Each structure stands twice: as structure tokens, then as C-alpha cells.
Amino acid sequence: MKKIYLFMYFMILSVCSFAQTGSIKGQITSSDGKPAQHVSVGMKGHRLGAVSGEDGNFLIQKVKPGTYTVLASYVGLETLEQQVEVVDGQTTTVNFNLKETANELQEVVIKDASQYKTNEVSSSLRLMTPIQETPQNIQVVTSKALSDQQVISMSDGLIRNVSGAARLEHWGDLYANITMRGSQIQAFRNGFNVVSSYWGPLTEDMSFVDHIEFVKGPAGFMLANGDPSGLYNVVTKKPTRQTKGEAGFTMGSYGLYRATLDLDGKLSKDGKFLYRLNLAGQNKASFRPYEYNDRYSVAPVISYQIDEKTKLTAEYTMQYAKMSDVGSYYIFSPKGYATLPRDFTTMPPGLEPTKIKDQSLFLNLQHQLNADWKLTFQAAYFNYAQRGSSMWPSTVNPDGTMIRSVGIWDAKSEMTLAQAFVNGNVTTGAVKHRILGGIDIGNKDYMADWGQSHDLDTLGAEFNPASPYYGTPVNGYPSFDRTTSLEARAVIAGGNISQKYTGIYAQDELSFLDNKIRLTLAGRYTYVSMSAWGGEAETAKHFSPRIGLSASIDKQTSIYALYDQAFLPQSGRLASGSVKPITGNNTEFGIKKDWADGNWNTTVSFYRIMKNNELTSDPNSQPNSGLSVVLGQKRAQGIEFDLRGTILPGLNLVANYAYTDSKVTKVTEGVTDIAKGDVIPGFAKHTVNSWLSYKIQKGAFKGTGFSGGFTYLVDRAMSNWSTTNTSTNLPDYFKLDGGVFWEKDKIRLTLNVFNVLDKNLYSGGYYTYLNAYYWQAEAPRNYRLSISYKF
């Protein structure tokens, strides 16, 4: 009997204890009455908290009775607070109404700037759907990941954050040249395709970049003309409505000195007129003698909230680069890869530098028509000017001696681009529709003079890598004729490329069963006129359909299937025949899953891409000759896995793996240099990447952290075609990086060591016309030390 009483006593005690807690619930809405998701809700001085869902609702449970200050915060916005009283066994309701509209909230795309994972994309991708629900593989490299890894430009280790991405390092830091899923992917900035030629755009300095979105597979229906393999979209920094700033200084191996300044604030007291200014200056030498790459950039942005529904943003970016001859990165030898020291160079120090001035102007007008419809208009102007040269040997002898040649490379590019699109929500019965429709127009012109060259060496006095001489060349330095205009010289050299296009597109995402199943139906019609290398303009038109299906198994898991097509104008010069646009299709399946309440996520995708009419460089001609051949058809298929986010408090991780199989499936009639079944150059069959960062959360070493990662490439194909030498595949590649950091309050110190194992890393290929291997080496073990101060 005593046992029964004792049991009842503990039952009553436990019930009483349980009753001595309450809960806090509520909803967070934007100023125009829409639910606001991803808003953090916490209790001042306590660890309890929650994050608002898609309906804006939140719930905090097991709160002890008392009076609390509840905080609602969103990255980049003002924190709101309210006092509430929690009573035993009761639920207290508190609602927050943000000062920003739903349109303004969408611009803050990174859920938490201190993390590696986000479920949102920028408004420049035009999607109103979270990544988890989008029937496509989209990976976002956040500003935190860029900062931790000390990435300073688009060519600087960025691609380790995305499965299957590779870089051929062509022309060094001049342009990114990223390949993925068997092809070079298109470069975008703020939703515009900024590729005007194969040699561009100039790599963006990370000082004005907020984050980078990698869209895998075709996306031409929404983002102008896109390659079937994908694109990357550089999203620049915008005003955040906060008054803040950050100054940074970096120094490193081989004469790296870099300073940055980021200012963010208000130009009017009412907060309607905002600004953002980013400045950067850099001196950077190289582990190879006589090389350098000095740059500076200026990027002001202003925005004005005309009224509650209308906002105008203007953005100007100027990058200036002064670098050594861009061909100096390459080494040539008939004896095989890495048969010369990795710090070897063929460049004499007296060559004139290459100078580049790259400018862009963006205008963006957003107008909220009503609670369900938003109209966006944006325009961009790009102006690129280059004056310089590129080194390339005209002869490589069997004993390794060579005649070095320097070719002029003056270039100019102008692009005028405009887009208008509308996003809307419509409900028909039990079906909800997310509507996207729009038009984009582009006019791109590129001109270059590469018709002049000068040999530095002569027959009988060749440059000898075994005993190099770096004084004045026996044939002197080049003195190119620039008395006539670049326009006239480009006509003579055949260096003109132009493209005009107009595209219209529409998409309907139908939502069924309370948004558990989503069907995407879309199409795009594109008309293009293009000419290249002095040829006559040719026109083409194409309709590209798209169908996608996404289903939510639960709140954190979704599966998707996708079929879409691509249409991409291309420029090139053939020995005979005409250039046709690239057409292709992509079939893809995948599964996305959030873990630990969305702190980290995984994506697994399976894809198959067929691509037609693509041009590739003629293996029997020099790379700057402009001659191409039509590949015919190629197939790329594979598996990709991406993991990113916060695994444990203080522990951030990016890890990915890709299996890529890319081969020629059809050969154009008359092309004898490429055979069916040939492997596509420029990728690795197996790619593995990781980056891990851990910060100590408490104790005497609080704020101290460790980071590190590796890149492992297996079964690498060379980076070009070869008709005579088929045994030129590259060796496996393994690079290990690591470092330490410390942060407290407003100060952060970061030290990273790259290529910790000091391996001789390189990429390259074999040129038939030279009968020589070529490769470009990466730096030996090197370091970077950064200090930043937020104010």
C-alpha cells in the first residue's frame, strides 16, 4: 500500500512540476501583412528561442513563469522587442510586425551571415520559392564561407564549395573559366549573363560580392541564355538598413598586401535613402619571378524607397587591374608535365604590363503592385577595356629550347542589357500558383586586336629553359602599332564578336495538397542575331520547354525531377561552314534534406545532359588563332552530393562529392580530329572537397577556432584536345589547406596556410602543333594573415 501512495506522490509531484511552465507563441508579419519566415525569436538573457515558419508562426515551449523580453531579429534588419508575462500552464501570445515589406525582406537572402547554409536565393534569380522546394540543384556559397577561406577573387579557391566544379586556370586571374557537368558554365552577375566572349568577364574581386549562387542544369528560361551545364550568379553587396562598417587588411606570401573597406548606412534620417560603399586595393606578386597582379576596385550602391511599394537601386562597379603578361603562367616542354621547376618562367621582366578597366552600372526598380504581385525592371551597362599582350611560343624544339612570341591583345567590350519580369500568386480552387513571366533583351559587342606578334628569340639563339636568360631578348621587346583605332585593327585581325537577343518566358508553379506537391511548367522563346570573327550575322530562334516536379515527404525532406532544354548562342570561327547556337536538354532527379531544424542540409542529384553543336578549339591551331571545330554531340552524366551548414554549435562544414562522365557521342561529318567515345577535356571523374571550421564556444579560449579542408581530384582529363598524343591525362590532385582564427567583439584574426603538404600541383594538356606538353603550376606552401574590424 505504501508503494502505491509513494507512486501517486511522485506522479502528483511530476504533474505539478510540469504545470509550472508555460509557452509563448505568435506570428511575425511584414509591413504589408504577409507572413515573414526565417525570423529568429528569442528571449533576452535566455537560450530558449525559435524560428518563424512559412506561415510566420513560432512557438517557444517549456518557459518558466515570469516576465520576459521577447526579441524578433532578422539579419540586416532592426531587432524588435516586446515584454510578455508567462503564466503556469498557459500560452502567451505575442505578435511582431516588421517595418519592412515582403519585397524588402526577400532582398536579405542569407538567413544567418555567420553560417554556411541558406534556404533562400537572391531576387535576381527571380524565384519566389525556397531552395528546398525548387526542382533544381542550387548551391549558395555564403559570405561567411568566402571570409573563412580568405577567398579574394572568383579564381581563388571558390569552387571547392560546390560539387563537381573545376577550373582550368586559363590566363591566371584574368577570368574564372569554371567547368561543371562537362562544360564551361556561364558567368552571371545580379541575374545578367555577363559573358561577351570566351575570355571574360574579368574575375570579380570579393570585396563587393555578398555571395555566389551556383545553378546546376539549364536555367535559360529565367536568366537569359544559359548553358545546359549551369551557371554561377555573383550577387553583389547592397544596403542593409543598418549603419555599420568593416575594415580589413590581409598580407601573405609572395608580396600580397590587400586592404578593404565596407561602409553601410543611411543618407536620410527616415531610412528611405541608403548607401553601401566597398573599396579594395591589392598588390600581389607570384611564386614565379617577375609576375604581379595589382588591382583596386570601387563599388558604390545607393537605394531609395520611393514609397511603400516602390524601390530604386543604382549600383556602379569599377575594377582596375595591372598585371604581367597573361601568358607567363604557362610552361612548355616536350619532355612531359612538371619536368621544369614549378617557379620556372619564360617571361623577361621588361615586358609592358596588361592593363584592364572593367566598369558596370546596374539600375533596379521594384514595385509591389499589391499583396500578391510584384514587378521588377532592371538594366545594366558593361564596359571593358584591355591593353596588353599574351606570351605563347611559336616553336618548341625537341630539346626543349623555344622561340618565345608575344602577341598583342587589346580588347574592348560593351554590353547593354535589360530585363522586366513579374512575380505573382494566384489561387484557383485548392491549387495555388506561383507565376513568373518576363522579357529580357541584350546587345553585346566584343572587339580585339590579336593580329600582331613579335618573336623575342631567333633561330640559333633560342630561349633555353636549362640555362634561362632573363635580360633583354636577342630580338628585343615588341613595339606594337597602335596608331589606328582598335575598331579598325579588330576588323583586320578578325576579332569582332557581336550578339543581339530577345527572349520571353513564362512559368507557373502549381502547388497541391497544402504545398506538399509542386508542379513547374515553363517555356522560353528566344530570338538571336550573332556574328563572329568578321563573318556575316546569322539569326536563330528556339523554344525551350521546362517541366519540374517537387514533393515534400515531410517538412525537412523533398524530392524532385526535372526536364528542361537550353538554347545558347555561341561565337566562333570555323575553317568552313557556319556557327549554330548550342542546344541541349537536361534530365535530373534529386533529394534535398534539412537536418537539425534546418541548421544543415544535404542534396543528392543524378543528371544526364545532351548537348549539340558546341564549338571547341581546333586541336591543330594555336589557342589565340580563334579557329574552332564543331564537336557534334556530347553527353555528360553523373552524381553529385553536397552538404553544408552548422553541424554542431560552432562547427560549420562544407563537403561535396561528384562523379562526372562526359564523352563525345556524335562527331560532325568531316571532323577527323575527334572521335566518338572521346573523353571531354577539362574535368575530373571524381571530385571530393571539404572545408570545416570550428569555434570554441566557452571557456578561456572562447572565440578561438580552427579550420581546414582539402580538394581531391581523381582521373583528371587534360584541359584540351590532342590528335597525336592520347596519353596526356593529368595525375591525381590533392591539396590540403588549414588555419586558425580568433574573434572577439568586433575584431577577427584569420591565418590560413594553403597547400600545407607543399605538393607540386598543376593542370595542363598537350598541343599537337607544338609537339609539347603545357601546364600551369599552383603556388607552393603559402600563407595569408587577415585582420578585420567591424564598427
Assess whether 128 and 93 both reside in one domain: no
Choose the final residue of a domain: 76, 99, 122: 99
Q: Helices then strands (H, E): number in the chain? A: 4, 47
Amino acid at 448: A
- CA neighbor of 643 nearest in space, from 651, 652, 634, 655: 655
Q: Which three cell numbers stand for residue 538?
A: 546569322
Residue 791 lies in a domain: no
Contact 332, 273 (CB under 8 A): no
Instruction: Report the alpha-carbon distance of residue 214 to residue 617 in Å, rounded.
Output: 26
| Sheet with strand 138-141: strands edge to edge | 138-141, 209-216, 230-236, 186-189, 192-193
Assess whether 224 and 296 both reside in one domain: no
Choose the final residue of a domain: 215, 236, 257: 236
Q: Which pTM was predicted?
A: 0.86
Residue 396 lies in a domain: yes
Instruction: Report the alpha-carbon distance of residue 133 to residue 434 in Å, rounded.
Output: 12
Q: Which three cell numbers stand for residue 578?
A: 557556319
User: What CATH number does residue 225 fall under?
Assistant: 2.170.130.10
Assess whether 162 and 225 both reside in one domain: yes
What pLDDT, on the 0 to 100 scale, is given for residue 576? 59
What pLDDT, on the 0 to 100 scale, is given for residue 10? 42
Assess whether 335 and 447 both reside in one domain: yes
Residue 61 lies in a domain: yes
Residue 746 lies in a domain: yes
Tell me whether strands 186-189 and 230-236 are parallel, antiparallel or unpaired.
Answer: parallel
Q: Which three cell numbers stand for residue 714?
A: 581523381
Assess whether 110 and 209 both reside in one domain: yes
Considering all CA atoms of the chain, what is the largest pairwise distance in Å, rounded to the nearest integer? 113
Assess whether 39 and 176 both reside in one domain: no
What pLDDT, on the 0 to 100 scale, is given for residue 403? 97
Instruction: Report the alpha-carbon distance of residue 658 to residue 644 in Å, rounded.
Output: 15
Residue 555 lies in a domain: yes
Assess whether 210 and 353 both reside in one domain: no
Contact 384, 413 (CB under 8 A): yes
Cβ burial 388-401 (10 Å sphere, 16+ → b, else e): bbbbbbbbbeeebb
Assess whether 51 and 196 both reside in one domain: no
* CA distances for 632 relative to 452, 567, 616, angstroms: 32, 15, 10
Instruction: Report the alpha-carbon distance of residue 196 to residue 210 in Å, rounded.
Output: 23
Cell 523554344 belongs to: 543
Contact 254, 342 (CB under 8 A): no
Instruction: Report the alpha-carbon distance of residue 756 to residue 294 in Å, rounded.
Output: 25
User: What CATH number does residue 317 fall under?
Assistant: 2.40.170.20
What pLDDT, on the 0 to 100 scale, is given for residue 259? 98
Q: Which three cell numbers stand for residue 353?
A: 604590363
Instruction: Report the alpha-carbon distance of residue 373 to residue 696 in Å, rounded.
Output: 46
Instruction: Report the alpha-carbon distance of residue 761 to residue 734 in Å, rounded.
Output: 8
Assess whether 226 and 282 both reside in one domain: no
Alpha-carbon torsion, ordered 562, 564, 568, 574, to 10 deg: 100
Assess whether 523 and 609 both reside in one domain: yes
Q: Which three cell numbers stand for residue 675?
A: 572521335
131's CB contacts (< 8 A; 6+ apart) are 118, 119, 120, 121, 138, 140, 592
Strands, DSSP E only, in 226-343? 230-236, 244-252, 256-266, 273-283, 293-307, 310-323, 331-333
CA 760 to chain centre: 27
Contact 135, 118 (CB under 8 A): no
Residue 365 lies in a domain: yes
Instruction: Report the alpha-carbon distance of residue 708 to residue 166 in Å, rounded.
Output: 19
Contact 210, 237 (CB under 8 A): yes
* DSSP at 19: H
Domain range for residue 181?
Answer: 104-236
Assess whether 651 and 774 both reside in one domain: yes
Residue 221 lies in a domain: yes
- Give the chain's length: 791
* CA distances for 626 relative to 15, 54, 768, angstroms: 81, 52, 16
Residue 465 lies in a domain: yes
Assess whether 420 and 557 both reside in one domain: yes
Choose the final residue of a domain: 210, 236, 262: 236
DSSP 75-108: TTSPPEEEEEEE-TT-EEE--EE-SS-HHHHHH-
Instruction: Report the alpha-carbon distance of residue 294 to residue 247 in Å, rounded.
Output: 19
User: What CATH number does residue 31 fall under?
Assistant: 2.60.40.10
- Half-sphere exposure (CA, 13 Å, Cβ side) for 720? 26
Instruction: Report the alpha-carbon distance of residue 633 to residue 616 in Å, rounded.
Output: 11
Q: Per the structure, how many domains does the chain have?
A: 3
- CA neighbor of 370 nearest in space, from 309, 414, 420: 309
Which residues of the chain have a pLDDT value below 70? 1-19, 47, 54, 75-77, 102-114, 219-226, 534, 569-579, 616-627, 670, 721-728
